[in-house]
Structure 1
Amino acid sequence: MRGTAPGGTRETYSSRAVVDLSVVIPAYNEERRLGSTLDAVTRYLRATAHRRGAWEIVIADDGSTDATREIVTLRRDPRLRLVTSPRNRGKGAALRLGVAASRGRRVLVTDADLAAPVEELERLDRALDEGHAVAVGSRAVPGATLGDRQHRFREFLGAAGNLLIRATTLRGIRDTQCGFKLFDGDKARAAFAASRMDGWAIDVEVLRHFRLSGWPIAEVPVHWSHQHGSKVRPLDYPRVLRDLVRIRVRLPGLADMSAAALFLAMAVALYSGRFFDPARRYLTDSLQDQNQWEWFFAVTADNVARLRNPFFSDLQGAPDGVNLMANTAMPGLSVPLTPLTLLLGPAVTLNLVMTLGMAATAGAWYWLIVRRLVRQRGAAFAGATLAAFAPPMVSHANAHPNFVVLFMIPLIVDRALRLCETGGRRTRDAVVLGLMTAYQLFLGEEALLLAALGMLVFALAYAAVRPDVARQVARPLLGGLAVAAAVCLPLVVYPLAWQFSGPQSYTHIEHGPAAANSVRALLTFAERSLIAGDADRAAALSLNPTEQNAFYGWPLLLFALAVTVRLWRQPAARALACTAAVAAILSLGPRIHVPLSGVEIPGPWAPLAGLPLLESVIVSRVALICAPALGMLLALAVGRLATARSLGTQYVGLLAVCLALLPLVPAPLKSEPRAATPAFFTDGSWKPYVSPGETLVPVPLPDPQAAEALHWQTEAGLGFRMPGGYFNGPYGDGDRSGVYGVPLNFTASLLKDVRDTGVAQVIDDRARAEARQDLAHWKAGALVLVPQPRDAVLRATVDKLVGRPAQWVDGVWVWDLHGGS
């Protein structure tokens, strides 16, 4: 049977079935040599077919102008396949074309001159049988023999080029230019698909791809003889040098730069409601988190500028203060961004951190997927987009930078995988891994913990699928992790000691059963889904709009299941699917409610819930691990579709991808105008009311439900301290379990009740005595009431507590406490 491949490529083939060996021969104007070469290769393969199996020969014609194509087509052998390029582009382009058309479990690449006899394939076969991914026919290793030699000048140029390649690009391989190589078929197709060189440097580029991917390379001695009619001309060597620079520097291509630009555009679109006016716009669904995070950036910058401890502040929670290290204040960014915060304000800093952080996170996942999983840029873009912009990530984009600025996680994953590679620099990689881990700890400890949990699940799943690989890499991996820990711990021991044993530290925080996902949450669409979002349904299945940690939707989960079944033979696909499934199940909490049954069963999170560190995790957040795992499965699926030979398969697959992803496309985050800060704070009118050591007490005290006072404090230049606030701290001196905000004393509880209910409380002498004690504990200089709902009853209550009426000063009610109360 004969046919024409898409794009005009002429092929001759008997079937589309996988064969055992593909021989790929690049050809350009080879009418004089190609016939004898095909005779020799065909004769050898027929003679060894009883032990080698089915074979094919793919001739990749690079726009020949002579009778090269006719030599192939006139043979009418169904095992000879011709693929053609419409114009001459170079050996690299021809090889990329030929390898892409191959179907063999192993792929032999040989030049049309057969400088290395095809019988040398026996030696290369043995190297692949021993576990190598590619066997290079080498003229430069012991055991190699040479027949006719090249001209001395050509030998000199070749030796100089080889020396340059070994010194700059491909260390450890003696003969990089021999055109006789045997590859593992799947790896060859992936490497050549990822190549960019059209010229002679493709050999170096592909071998470097194998080296960077950790695929073992063997150099095998062969017999080699120079053949007249070489296509390499002296003027080609400067072009090879140029290509080597491109390979070594690895300049980003148009696809990579386009992906980065699109990631940035998507992040800006997501924050479009406040991106261009961050100081006067507020993320509606962030509740009080935007106020909190702007305060974190402001107070850290203030501490650094004044040379104070960046891990502590007494501006909230006075007189006890706030342990910033125990509050994920992201010193890894808030400290280095101090100049930006001091110059433009914390609202701008938070805005840039969130926007650029999401784009950088998507870019990091893109880089990891291209490097480790698939080489098709479109597939990597799709996977990285899902990993960084999945519904739970969009939920946390409401002012949770510690859960969306995750660009270090893919780098950590890659560095850990390097510890498993043979021939790598494990000590260096382990040291870098330790430094990266330490830095991520200063960006977000809970994200690091969840990443470690996901990596552990993936490692166990992969070990179950490939126990041979697990046994091989176990010792170097564990040894490298030990070195990484030895590097990381000295850098973080003091901050961690401050976090867990310093002032206002706590041991854990209880979140209760409501913090777990339900099965319905995994299948339902998120509130911010542009097409299928339902705010009421999402609110009923989550803690709040910032904690919609599942909501992947049933179409994506069905698609992931179909991809897993289709790619079941790939160990990575199985391990990724297992990781996503385990994370989803763990996120259901210690007790799992079976839908539509009323039955409750123990969940696998139950034995983990009481473990140190894990006991403080909001368990629904474990489902965040699913985002990159599903993203990588998506990348595998799109990568497979890109190589599908049937257009019908590609169209059906693309339709399935669209149906799975379109319901997840997010709408821009909701934002609203921010209430103006009263002039009392911005103009410095507060200063006469607060003496050194005193506090300014907002009425009611700021708490996790109403923390606008933190914004007023930053607008006032952090010039005064205040009690109350929105942070994590200990419940009490004896019980060091954590709570959100400050445990309420009498006065704080009284004012909160009045705000929440609007009902006036009975104020008697006992209440006034309690209030005097609380105000003395806070070292209060004045109380301040900003106009708000129910402010009349609040003002009347405070009038009775302090025994005097308030004064109206620059937009607020003030009770000056100097001189007694």
Structure 2
Amino acid sequence: MDLSVVVPAYNEEGRLGPTLDAVRAYLDSEAGPGTWELLVVDDGSSDGTARIARDTAAADPRVRLVSSTENRGKGHALRLGVAASKGVRVLVTDADLATPIEELARLTEQMEAGYGAAVGSRAHPDSSVEVHQGRLREWMGRMGNRLIRAVAVPGIRDTQCGFKLLDGEKAREAFADARLDGWGIDVEILQYFRRQGWAVAEVPVRWSHQEGSKVGPFDYLRVLAELIRLKTRAVRRVDLAVCGLFLLASVLLYKGLWTDLDHAYLRDSGQDQNQWEWFFAVTADNVAHLHNPFFTTVQNFPDGVNLMGNTPMLGLSVPLTPVTLAFGPSVTWALVLTGGLAATAASWYWLIARRLVRNRWAAALGGALAAFAPPMISHANAHPNFMVLFMIPVIIDRALRLCEGHRTVRDGVLLGLFATYQVFLGEEPFLLAAVGMLIFAAAYAVVHREAARQAARPLAKGLAIAAGTALPLVGYPLAWQFFGAQSYHSVLHGDNAGNSPLALLEFSGRALFGDDATADKLALNRTEQNAFYGWPLVALAFAVTVRLWRRPVVKALAFTAVAAAVLSLGQKIRIPYTDVVFPGPWRAMAHLPLFESVIEGRVAMVCAPALGMLVALAVDRLTRARARTSAPSTVSSPVSSPASSPVRGPVRPYQVVGALAVAAALVPIVPTPFPVQQRPEIPAFIADGMWKKYVGPGESVVPVPLPDPGSAEALHWQSATGLGFPVPGGYFNGPYGPDRTGIYGAPPRYTSNLFRDVRYGGKVPDIGPNWQAQARYDLAYWKAGVVVIPPEDNDATLYVVVEKLLGRPGERIGGAWVWPVGKGS
């Protein structure tokens, strides 16, 4: 059948006869399509509509009647009619023929040009409106149409057009997926075509307002309400369930932290929990007292810390200031970790469901892998800036919208705002995400050149607009980061910070099938297990790539994962179990600005969303293989539900094998709860405020040893007690030497090195006048008010050293040894 014409009709007794005669006459003319059928869908009419259609069908067997027992709306009628159609193309037209049937020729021309659908548009500038509506009615209709365009279908001028020619197979798929029963189905179908990437042509036509038309100006508001109700209903069912599961998984992972927020410390976080709680506390303090949010002297006193050169996540720590002030930074820390992990999974789920697959549970599996993959879980021990990535999928989606070229200015501005926000969440993960996006874009451009050609111009324009939006907003913060007080040029990590090839195939310490002993041998530390996807997942990804190789997106995703994995091997690629070493491609990037501070092993994190999308595509393919749609078996079918409701076919052996393969790849890397330990008690000397008697204005508390990246408990003293005193040293990134090279912690001084050596060596060196003079000099530099030794390993040995340096015994106050050294002592 060359063409199926579907005419929805409700109480159209007065107009249906002439409409059917006009349509049949044109279809039988020389301009007609060839073989055709005409389906009249009676939507539960109470007049003679069904009788007229039945009489016409009796006279012409090419006319068929499809009936519904009750009136449910245009959307329901169209679903029935399109499901019953058999045409290579399907024309949908209203019973009033406001657009004459002769305009079919214009739509056919566009279909011949390769479009998936052609929409007759009265709003097209070349259209001819022969009979206008009343002015008020026309003005209200235009306003409603603009509102729908802005909210639902940007780029289509006439969203409520009743005259559409569609590819038959695409039409039956789109209407089978549709859920709206009313006028909103027109918008729903256009949205479906856009999601699938099927081109829609908007064609100028002749149009005349027909008296008795059932489409009124307020129907545009009804359409908008239907679309909102559809989204709300969908969210309440599948999306909320998926997001709830993500949140539950995140809470279970951090259950040890939540059960004792005052004393629980993530065991594998090193000193990072102390550091991050301090970041949240100092940001809240800066906001509450209107201090510079980019700098503080509370740590590394008196030189201070460039907060923009560190990772305080101002995008979250600033809005969460009320939580931090009311409940403390430990609560903020737990909220950011738990909520951020769940939000990131939900964001990837949204992107995959929107752009890649139809099955929501397939998208959920992909989103879960992208957010809960072993590298993400490793960083979830201590680096929220590397696992709270909910803005990255949003940025990717906006970039893809730019490629579509519908609203370049708006999308460019939004992309700039989203990028600005991500800068204040984490710059290094943003850089790595940009690398992944560039790799994917380059690969996709190679395998789908036509799409790249069409996207190049709007994307370039949109990116320029985004840059113009973002740069004024981030200009001053970035200038402070790179040129302000305590700024630095780069953080060097050596040439052995890449992953071992074995790390890509092993299981991480937190994986269900992994163990710490194996993973520790292949990672810098437990917060830097940046690969560890496991050989079953790598094998599954390879199989999926081979099976779905014809799809351009699969080729681009596979190339992105492989390229990121190779880059993550670092400047030198060592072949396992041999002495063979090859230069790695990261060598070409290692000394570029910004990249010189990146731990190259982290590039493997880009593989997580790529693998998640490949798994989602595979699962979607398996589930869609079972789905079947059935059409009405009779001409007149009194059904009350869509005739194209999905029917599940039998489960086939290859589907069982596929499901087992996915399970075998994912179950071994399911993360286990983060272990916690009791954090050291804060000495009463600090906790009860006894220090205030010994520390004057502009003076500091000097813990022994000074806080550094290996021992930063003094930062917990500060964050838990309201940041009432500064400390020298600390755990942060700052400058060292005349070249201002970035290091972790404060530049070492003789006395701080002495304390550290004794703390970890347990031996008392020979303390003479020179050491005493040096200690006085360093204490003066730190503007020390009091020196404090808390209970810790080798505290007795440290006591002896400090006693010799200061030439007097300490006092035991509040559970700590104390030496007043300030101006008032």
TM-score norm. by structure 2 comes to: 0.83
- The corresponding residue for 2:442 is 460
Label 1:723 to 1:176 Cα distance change in 2 as closer, same or farther (>3 A).
closer
- The corresponding residue for 1:322 is 305
Label 1:581 to 1:222 Cα distance change in 2 as closer, same or farther (>3 A).
same
Looking at structure 2, the residues matched to 681 and 84 of structure 1 have their Cα atoms a distance apart, in angstroms, of 81
How far does residue 86 in structure 1 lie from its aligned partner after superposition?
A: 12
- The corresponding residue for 2:616 is 635
**In the alignment, residue 355 of structure 1 is paired with which amino acid?**
T
Looking at structure 2, the residues matched to 103 and 608 of structure 1 have their Cα atoms a distance apart, in angstroms, of 57
Looking at structure 2, the residues matched to 348 and 342 of structure 1 have their Cα atoms a distance apart, in angstroms, of 10
- The corresponding residue for 2:184 is 201
- The corresponding residue for 2:646 is none
**In the alignment, residue 225 of structure 2 is paired with which amino acid?**
V
Q: Does 1:526 align with 2:545?
A: no
User: Which of residues 376, 400, 420 in structure 2 aligns to 1:417?
Assistant: 400
User: Which of residues 139, 142, 145 in structure 2 aligns to 1:166?
Assistant: 145
Greater Cα shift, 112-121 or 35-44? 35-44
How far does residue 445 in structure 1 lie from its aligned partner after superposition?
A: 0.7
Looking at structure 1, the residues matched to 475 and 169 of structure 2 have their Cα atoms a distance apart, in angstroms, of 45
- The corresponding residue for 2:338 is 355
Label 1:724 to 1:97 Cα distance change in 2 as closer, same or farther (>3 A).
farther
Any residues of structure 2 matched to 1:386-785 within 5 Å, and which? 386-424=369-407, 426-529=408-511, 531-644=512-625, 645=627, 647-648=651-652, 649-732=654-737, 734-785=738-789
- The corresponding residue for 2:639 is none
Q: Is the 8 A contact 1:162 1:176 kept in 2?
A: no
* 2:787 counterpart SS class: strand
How far does residue 110 in structure 1 lie from its aligned partner after superposition?
A: 3.8
**In the alignment, residue 798 of structure 1 is paired with which amino acid?**
V
Q: Is the 8 A contact 1:508 1:616 kept in 2?
A: yes
Q: Is the 8 A contact 2:405 2:458 kept in 1?
A: no
Q: Is the 8 A contact 2:509 2:519 kept in 1?
A: yes
Label 1:774 to 1:406 Cα distance change in 2 as closer, same or farther (>3 A).
same
Any residues of structure 2 matched to 1:181-260 within 5 Å, and which? 181-183=164-166, 192=175, 195-210=178-193, 216-220=199-203, 242-247=222-227, 250-251=231-232, 253-254=235-236, 255-260=238-243
What is the number of equivalent residue pairs in this alignment?
783
How far does residue 460 in structure 1 lie from its aligned partner after superposition?
A: 0.9
Label 1:88 to 1:316 Cα distance change in 2 as closer, same or farther (>3 A).
same
Q: Is the 8 A contact 1:109 1:179 kept in 2?
A: no
Label 1:207 to 1:775 Cα distance change in 2 as closer, same or farther (>3 A).
same
Label 1:548 to 1:61 Cα distance change in 2 as closer, same or farther (>3 A).
farther
How far does residue 174 in structure 1 lie from its aligned partner after superposition?
A: 6.1
Looking at structure 1, the residues matched to 813 and 201 of structure 2 have their Cα atoms a distance apart, in angstroms, of 82
Looking at structure 1, the residues matched to 577 and 5 of structure 2 have their Cα atoms a distance apart, in angstroms, of 58
Q: Is the 8 A contact 2:695 2:822 kept in 1?
A: no
How far does residue 711 in structure 1 lie from its aligned partner after superposition?
A: 0.3
CA deviation profile, 1:522-558 (whole Å, cap 9, x unmatched):
11112111x3121111111111111111111222222
Q: Is the 8 A contact 2:369 2:611 kept in 1?
A: yes
Label 1:44 to 1:458 Cα distance change in 2 as closer, same or farther (>3 A).
farther
How far does residue 587 in structure 1 lie from its aligned partner after superposition?
A: 0.8
* 1:729 counterpart SS class: strand
Q: What percent identity do the matched residue pairs reach?
A: 56
CA deviation profile, 1:104-158 (whole Å, cap 9, x unmatched):
9x763546989799997664343245454421245776998999x9xx99x9999
Label 1:217 to 1:317 Cα distance change in 2 as closer, same or farther (>3 A).
same
Q: Is the 8 A contact 1:170 1:204 kept in 2?
A: no
Looking at structure 1, the residues matched to 194 and 664 of structure 2 have their Cα atoms a distance apart, in angstroms, of 38
Q: Is the 8 A contact 1:62 1:94 kept in 2?
A: yes
Q: Is the 8 A contact 1:782 1:815 kept in 2?
A: yes
Label 1:803 to 1:240 Cα distance change in 2 as closer, same or farther (>3 A).
same
Q: Is the 8 A contact 1:525 1:551 kept in 2?
A: yes
How far does residue 291 in structure 1 lie from its aligned partner after superposition?
A: 0.3
Q: Is the 8 A contact 2:44 2:71 kept in 1?
A: yes
Q: Is the 8 A contact 2:7 2:95 kept in 1?
A: no
User: Which of residues 781, 804, 807 in structure 1 aligns to 2:811?
Assistant: 807
Looking at structure 2, the residues matched to 819 and 737 of structure 1 have their Cα atoms a distance apart, in angstroms, of 34
CA deviation profile, 1:72-124 (whole Å, cap 9, x unmatched):
xxxxx9xx9999999997664576688799999x7635469897999976643
5+ residue gaps in structure 1? 1-19, 72-76
Label 1:338 to 1:146 Cα distance change in 2 as closer, same or farther (>3 A).
closer
Q: Is the 8 A contact 2:141 2:218 kept in 1?
A: no
Label 1:219 to 1:309 Cα distance change in 2 as closer, same or farther (>3 A).
closer
Looking at structure 2, the residues matched to 713 and 682 of structure 1 have their Cα atoms a distance apart, in angstroms, of 9
Any residues of structure 2 matched to 1:135-146 within 5 Å, and which? 135-137=118-120
Label 1:225 to 1:329 Cα distance change in 2 as closer, same or farther (>3 A).
closer
Looking at structure 1, the residues matched to 499 and 175 of structure 2 have their Cα atoms a distance apart, in angstroms, of 44
Q: Is the 8 A contact 1:166 1:173 kept in 2?
A: no
Label 1:367 to 1:58 Cα distance change in 2 as closer, same or farther (>3 A).
farther
- The corresponding residue for 1:13 is none
Q: Is the 8 A contact 1:216 1:422 kept in 2?
A: no
How far does residue 771 in structure 1 lie from its aligned partner after superposition?
A: 2.0
- The corresponding residue for 1:12 is none
Any residues of structure 2 matched to 1:294-313 within 5 Å, and which? 294-313=277-296
How far does residue 658 in structure 1 lie from its aligned partner after superposition?
A: 1.9
Greater Cα shift, 207-216 or 737-746? 207-216
CA deviation profile, 1:590-614 (whole Å, cap 9, x unmatched):
1112334432212111101110000
Looking at structure 1, the residues matched to 175 and 240 of structure 2 have their Cα atoms a distance apart, in angstroms, of 21
CA deviation profile, 1:170-204 (whole Å, cap 9, x unmatched):
37756555555344678757755664313342122
Looking at structure 2, the residues matched to 656 and 84 of structure 1 have their Cα atoms a distance apart, in angstroms, of 46
Looking at structure 2, the residues matched to 693 and 768 of structure 1 have their Cα atoms a distance apart, in angstroms, of 23
Greater Cα shift, 662-671 or 565-574? 565-574
* 1:517 counterpart SS class: coil
How far does residue 738 in structure 1 lie from its aligned partner after superposition?
A: 0.8
Looking at structure 2, the residues matched to 128 and 789 of structure 1 have their Cα atoms a distance apart, in angstroms, of 80
Q: Is the 8 A contact 1:427 1:483 kept in 2?
A: yes
* CA RMSD in angstroms, aligned pairs only: 4.4
Q: Is the 8 A contact 2:329 2:720 kept in 1?
A: no
* 1:813 counterpart SS class: strand
How far does residue 657 in structure 1 lie from its aligned partner after superposition?
A: 2.3
Looking at structure 2, the residues matched to 639 and 42 of structure 1 have their Cα atoms a distance apart, in angstroms, of 40
**In the alignment, residue 706 of structure 1 is paired with which amino acid?**
S
* 1:410 counterpart SS class: helix
Q: Is the 8 A contact 1:564 1:574 kept in 2?
A: yes
How far does residue 636 in structure 1 lie from its aligned partner after superposition?
A: 2.3
Looking at structure 2, the residues matched to 518 and 26 of structure 1 have their Cα atoms a distance apart, in angstroms, of 65
Ranked by relative contact order (alpha carbons within 8 Å, sequence separation 6 or more), the top structure is: 2
Label 1:61 to 1:431 Cα distance change in 2 as closer, same or farther (>3 A).
same
How far does residue 749 in structure 1 lie from its aligned partner after superposition?
A: 1.4
Any residues of structure 2 matched to 1:334-345 within 5 Å, and which? 334-345=317-328
Looking at structure 1, the residues matched to 157 and 793 of structure 2 have their Cα atoms a distance apart, in angstroms, of 79
How far does residue 335 in structure 1 lie from its aligned partner after superposition?
A: 2.0
**In the alignment, residue 323 of structure 1 is paired with which amino acid?**
N
How far does residue 650 in structure 1 lie from its aligned partner after superposition?
A: 4.0
Greater Cα shift, 291-300 or 803-812? 803-812
Q: Is the 8 A contact 2:416 2:468 kept in 1?
A: yes
